[in-house]
Amino acid sequence: MKILFLIKSIQDQAHYNPFYKEASAMGVSLDVRLYHEICIKYVSNRQEILVGDTPLSEYNLVFFYTVFNFEEIQIIISQYCLKNKIPVVDRVFQHDQPWIDRKSFEYAILSQNKLPIIDSYFFSKKRWQLMVDKIDFPIVVKETDESQGRGVYLCQNVSEVSKLLKNSSKDFFIFQKYIKTNGDIRLFIIGKKVIGSIKRQSKNAKEFRNNISLGGRGTLFEPQKTVKEDALKAASLLQYDISGVDFIYDEVNRAWKILEVNRAPQFDGFMKVTGINIPKLILDYLKKSARPD
């Protein structure tokens, strides 16, 4: 069995080493490749796709591990896979509904389906002056195309927001109510199951973001049943097979709110806290989802 991982960069190649180890133990041939290694040939009545020198048709499953900035080629590959009955992960890449890899799009889906989210606005920085009177400070300003806590800013007043927008090359942002808390929780989902959860807390009093990748600490945490149900519903609505759903507790309204849903999230910090072998569980799921040899 041959499984293709498509990634955007080799900078964190060590991140994939545990996958190679688990794949070998399972008898799975794992091929981790860059999008830049793809070649598509168009001829009359057909197309041929090569991954390096290997025809895409030889793979049993394609996992789009990272996508951002490669939507064009990802759509072409996923359409080819569907036509040739090669399973793709996540399910969202089947393109039976619109999807873009942006926080704004995810919030639109969650809001439309009445899941508990943080009150937010999404608009261009050119509209900022028209919205000032509608915003209560402090406020969190988010770039919609970042992850791991990057592109997230806490602003205390109009001046700080104006300076941020002026110095940014981005055009659109999410403006979100700031909820003061002592941490957030991450639920890791594979398939239709919550396989574990942790609480993340910043160790720096001046840092409002709790991401472990930014130096936060993690501890075991058992969420209530309704939080698990909301996490599973959010992942299902977004058609994410593998995801990390983050929640924050709103003390004022006494309710857990979805902070964001991360497709194919990082797992190093999660594994250290829980002891759960994420690469093995992901590969188990991919193997079960793959086209038989």
pLDDT classification of 214: cutoffs 50, 70, 90: low
Please, what is the average pLDDT of the chain?
A: 88
Query: Under a CB-based contact definition with an 8 Å cutoff, are residues 66 and 38 in contact?
Result: no
% of the chain residues with pLDDT over 90: 53
Q: What is the pLDDT at residue 256?
A: 94
pLDDT classification of 244: cutoffs 50, 70, 90: very high
- Which range is most confident: 85-94, 198-207, 234-243, 260-269? 234-243
Residue whose token pair is 């050119």: 126
Kindly give the residue spans of alpha helices, DSSP state H, lying in 92-140: 103-112, 128-131
Statement: the pTM of the whole predicted model exceeds 0.85: yes
- For residues 6-27, average pLDDT: 84
Domains of the chain (ranges plus CATH)? 2-99 (3.40.50), 119-177 (3.30.1490.20), 184-286 (3.30.470.20)
Q: In angstroms, what is the C-alpha Rg of the chain?
A: 20
pLDDT classification of 25: cutoffs 50, 70, 90: very high
| Model pLDDT for residues 101-116, shown as the tens digit of each residue | 788 889 999 999 989 9
Question: At 89, phi and psi to the nearest 5?
Answer: -130, 130
Instruction: Name residue 166's amino acid.
Output: K
- Which residues share a beta bridge with 47? 42
3-class SS shares of the chain: helix, strand, coil, % to 5: 35, 30, 35
